[in-house]
């Protein structure tokens, strides 16, 4: 089945390039964004807010991370996923006009949303992530190469972060085997170099 996108007939796999954000802010209100140390470092620099105040910790059952289980951190209270903190109206950086208050420093997952890229295939598979709350327009002009580059940068940062998670988790499992205390969220952030004095 073919669809029309700004006057041009396209294959369904490239229909995602017609996406245009209408600024409804629903993704920022409803979705939880997993963050890496690189994301947090950018956000701390841009906002001046300490890393500990920028994150929440979700239990495995609270989020579907079946594609990225390596992002879960072993803390004293159990396995947790580090996500961008939400306030009562969604993401703490969502302003009154449904705009991101730290747009240039936003996490890599936010930068790529709502695109789902499989850059390992030729041609690239590019689709929109399923999110029913998004009232997007279909008259956009997205650059496939720019999206693929953003996806490549995201995976590079994520791979580096997951290596750090793996290192922390090995130490946590070792401490548990020895009957010793496993560190909490504050100690993990310190391990990442994002403790209270970081970037002061």
> Scanning the structure block, which residue is given the tokens 């997952």?
109
Q: Is residue 3 part of a domain?
A: no
Q: Measure the CA–CA gap between 108 and 130, rounded to whole angstroms.
A: 18
CA angle (72, 77, 80) in 5-degree steps = 20
Q: Is residue 19 part of a domain?
A: yes
Could you give the dihedral angle defined by the CA atoms of residues 96, 55, 129 and 18, in that order, rounded to the nearest 10 degrees? Answer: 40
Q: Which domain holds residue 134?
A: 15-191
How many angstroms from the chain centroid is the CA of residue 59? 16
Q: Is residue 2 part of a domain?
A: no
Question: Residue 79 pLDDT more than 90?
Answer: yes
Six-digit token string for 181: 């205390």
pTM of the model: 0.85
Six-digit token string for 84: 């961008």
pLDDT in tens, 121-170: 666 688 888 877 788 898 999 998 899 999 999 999 999 999 999 999 99
Give the pLDDT mean for 66-73.
Answer: 86
Q: How many domains would you assign to the chain?
A: 1
β-pair partners for 193: none
Q: Is residue 198 part of a domain?
A: no
Residues 6+ apart with CB under 8 A from 28: 90, 91, 93, 94, 98, 100
Q: Measure the CA–CA gap between 124 and 14, rounded to whole angstroms.
A: 9
């Amino acid at each position: 089945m073919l669809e029309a996108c700004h006057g041009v007939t396209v294959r369904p796999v490239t229909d995602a390039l017609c996406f245009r954000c209408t600024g409804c802010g629903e993704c920022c209100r409803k979705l939880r964004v997993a963050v890496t140390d690189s994301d947090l470092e950018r956000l701390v620099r841009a906002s001046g807010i300490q890393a500990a105040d920028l994150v929440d910790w979700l239990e495995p059952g609270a989020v579907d991370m079946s594609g990225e289980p390596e992002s879960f951190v072993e803390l004293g209270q159990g396995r947790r996923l580090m996500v961008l903190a939400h306030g009562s109206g969604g993401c703490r950086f969502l302003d009154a006009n449904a705009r991101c208050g730290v747009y240039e420093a936003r996490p890599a997952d936010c930068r790529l949303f709502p695109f789902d890229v499989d850059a390992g295939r030729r041609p690239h598979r590019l689709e929109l992530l399923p999110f029913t709350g998004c009232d997007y327009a279909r008259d956009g002009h997205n650059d496939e190469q720019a999206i693929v580059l953003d996806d490549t940068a995201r995976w590079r940062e994520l791979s580096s972060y997951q290596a750090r998670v793996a290192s922390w988790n090995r130490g946590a499992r070792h401490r548990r085997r020895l009957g010793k205390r496993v560190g909490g969220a504050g100690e993990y952030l310190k391990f990442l170099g994002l403790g209270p004095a970081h970037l002061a």
